[in-house]
């Protein structure tokens, strides 16, 4: 999602250049409302800047109080966490160890910022402050773009860096791709109230806001998302969902029907893109056993799409991908090494399928 319309003139002071939030060279990704404010984990923006040495985010009242955690990456380096609040926030350029080793007078040029959390993740962008002498340049997105859809197992719940350590994010980084994550812990696919979510993903995916009504009260869940704002449109869609449907006793036949209908709606948006449907990797136990849900039903879903004349929907069998060592013992969600393992296995699966990582990022780092 990128800005549209005439280029606003940045306000320049003796020490600062102020970029308005509707500047078309801010490259937004994920889902933002009109304030503009973020929804869904991983939503954020990218900047390409010449002579950058200072960056300030000025955030408005819809920003999560007392703070929201954002991930920051400089020149495609590792993401690090910066906690931001309503008001003026100076973003440290060089906040991780590898960056600190760089020359203090070396400017950075590609800045990527996103909200990390699956809740408490609202930032309301008012303006961006750059150092005097900086020049905002176009950000060119990768021609490869993933759309991930899921629940807590994709949203990075319980991870120290949230979605930035989750397997969807890691997969996108490996392929040097753009990547959006529409995933919410506790959400079912079926449109039901489930664990703090007012709606299911089959409904909420088509709306701007996320599903979590226990955690955010400043919306009504009905603002349609304009998919033309996705820049670029996804080239590959990955769906891993169903754990919360099973927990809410949605029957297998109901789940299959809901999933099949959802895929049909997605096909209306994405007529030729490959869909990758994950089977559950299950809930591991300390004794080595694994509890599965909807066994055999994901195969039915893919087969039904084939019967309907859709050859571009593929089953990703994740059986055996996650064991007891790969999860937090108190909640059975993948831990940091577990997410890394899942990402490696899926990356290999995609390469075997025929997808190759880009050799370089589309927007070059200035030297």
Mean predicted confidence (pLDDT) in 92-107: 56
What was the pLDDT predicted at 10?
58
- Considering only 82-91, 214-223, 226-235, which range has the smallest mean pLDDT? 214-223
pLDDT classification of 131: cutoffs 50, 70, 90? very high
Which of these ranges, 48-62, 202-216, 235-249, 295-309, has the smallest mean pLDDT? 202-216
**Mean of the per-residue pLDDT values for the chain?**
93
Helices (H), 222-335: 243-247, 252-269, 297-307
**Closest listed residue to residue 245, CA positions, set 117, 147, 151:** 151
Domain architecture of the chain: domains with CATH: 11-137 (2.60.120.260), 145-353 (3.40.50.1110)
95 band by pLDDT with thresholds 50, 70 and 90: low
- Cα separation, 351 vs 107, in Å, equals 35
Residue 217, pLDDT above cutoff 90: no
Tell me: the pLDDT tens digits for 250-286?
A: 999 999 999 999 999 999 999 999 999 999 999 999 9
pLDDT tens profile 4-32 = 333 444 565 557 899 999 999 999 999 99
What's the whole-number mean pLDDT along residues 170-188?
98
Contact 90, 29 (CB under 8 A): no
Q: What is the pLDDT of residues 220-248, one digit of tens each?
A: 889 999 999 999 999 999 999 999 999 99
Dist CA 364 CA 353 (whole Å): 28
């Amino acid at each position: 999602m990128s800005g549209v319309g005439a280029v606003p003139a940045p306000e320049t002071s003796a020490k600062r250049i102020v970029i308005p939030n509707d500047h078309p060279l801010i490259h937004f990704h994920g889902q933002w409302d009109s304030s503009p404010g973020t929804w869904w984990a991983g939503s954020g923006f990218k900047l390409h800047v010449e002579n950058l040495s200072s960056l300030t985010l000025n955030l408005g009242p819809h920003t999560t109080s007392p703070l929201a955690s954002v991930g920051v990456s400089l020149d495609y380096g590792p993401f690090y966490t910066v906690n931001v609040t309503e008001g003026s926030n100076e973003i440290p350029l060089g906040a991780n160890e590898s960056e600190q080793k760089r020359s203090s007078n070396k400017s950075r040029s590609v800045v990527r910022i996103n909200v990390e959390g699956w809740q408490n993740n609202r930032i309301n962008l008012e303006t961006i402050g750059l150092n005097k002498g900086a020049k905002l340049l176009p950000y060119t997105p990768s021609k490869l773009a993933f759309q991930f859809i899921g629940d807590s197992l994709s949203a990075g719940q319980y991870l120290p860096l949230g979605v930035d350590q989750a397997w969807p994010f890691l997969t996108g980084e490996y392929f040097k791709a753009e990547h959006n994550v529409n995933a919410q812990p506790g959400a079912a696919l079926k449109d039901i109230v489930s664990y703090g979510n007012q709606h299911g993903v089959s409904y909420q995916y088509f709306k701007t806001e996320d599903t979590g009504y226990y955690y955010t009260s400043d919306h009504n869940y009905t603002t349609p998302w304009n998919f033309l704002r996705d820049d670029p449109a996804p080239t590959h869609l990955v769906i891993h969902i169903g754990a919360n449907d099973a927990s809410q006793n949605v029957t297998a036949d109901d789940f299959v029907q809901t999933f099949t209908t959802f895929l049909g709606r997605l096909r209306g948006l994405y007529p030729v893109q490959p869909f990758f449907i994950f089977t559950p990797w299950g809930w591991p136990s300390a004794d080595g056993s694994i509890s599965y849900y909807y066994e055999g039903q994901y195969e039915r879903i893919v087969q039904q799409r084939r019967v309907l004349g859709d050859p571009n929907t593929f089953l990703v069998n994740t059986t055996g991908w996650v064991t007891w060592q790969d999860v937090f013992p108190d909640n059975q969600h993948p831990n940091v090494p577990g997410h890394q393992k899942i990402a490696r296995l899926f990356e290999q699966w995609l390469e075997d399928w025929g997808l190759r990582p880009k050799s370089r990022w589309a927007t070059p780092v200035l030297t």
